[in-house]
Amino acid sequence: MSYRHKVERVGFELREENPDRSKRYFREVPGTRRIHVHVRQAGSLSEQMTLLFRDYLRTHPEDGLRYAQEKHRLMKLYKEERPKYVEGKGPIVWDILQKAHIWSQEIGWKPAVSDR
């Protein structure tokens, strides 16, 4: 992980407990504003799905708003239960990914070179 020290130098800590082998997960140093940094393996399905999700939301603000509203609802509902919050996002994420897949086929979507 040649990037690990660079990410840690700017104030994030690697979370070793992440079971996803195609992504590394960093969090803020305790006591600072909560921020998550995900470093994904280039070319992995995880990377492709994440970039597609992002690009779809950038061009479909109504779904971006719907996603944000659902995240806020879940944050209030599961304030102290992060696993339930993450699980609760599943239905909307899969709904948006299904739409994003159809959209990607219609426009011939590919991740931009600048995203790597």
31 and 76 share one domain: no
pLDDT above 90 for 66:
yes
30 and 56 share one domain: no
Residue 35 lies in a domain: yes
Surface-to-core class of residue 23, CB atoms within 10 Å of its CB (0-12 exposed, 13-18 middle, 19+ buried): middle
Predicted confidence at residue 1, as pLDDT, reads 66
78 and 93 share one domain: yes
Cα gap 48→45, rounded to integer Å? 5
Question: Tokens 């993450």 label which residue?
Answer: 86
Which structural domain, as residue segments, surrounds residue 84?
A: 42-110
The pLDDT-based confidence of 87 (bands split at 50, 70, 90) is very high
pLDDT above 60 for 33:
yes
Cα gap 63→82, rounded to integer Å? 23
Give the total number of structural domains in the chain.
Answer: 2
104 and 51 share one domain: yes
Cα gap 66→72, rounded to integer Å? 10
Residue 99 lies in a domain: yes
Question: Could you tell me how far CA 34 lies from the centroid of its own chain?
Answer: 14
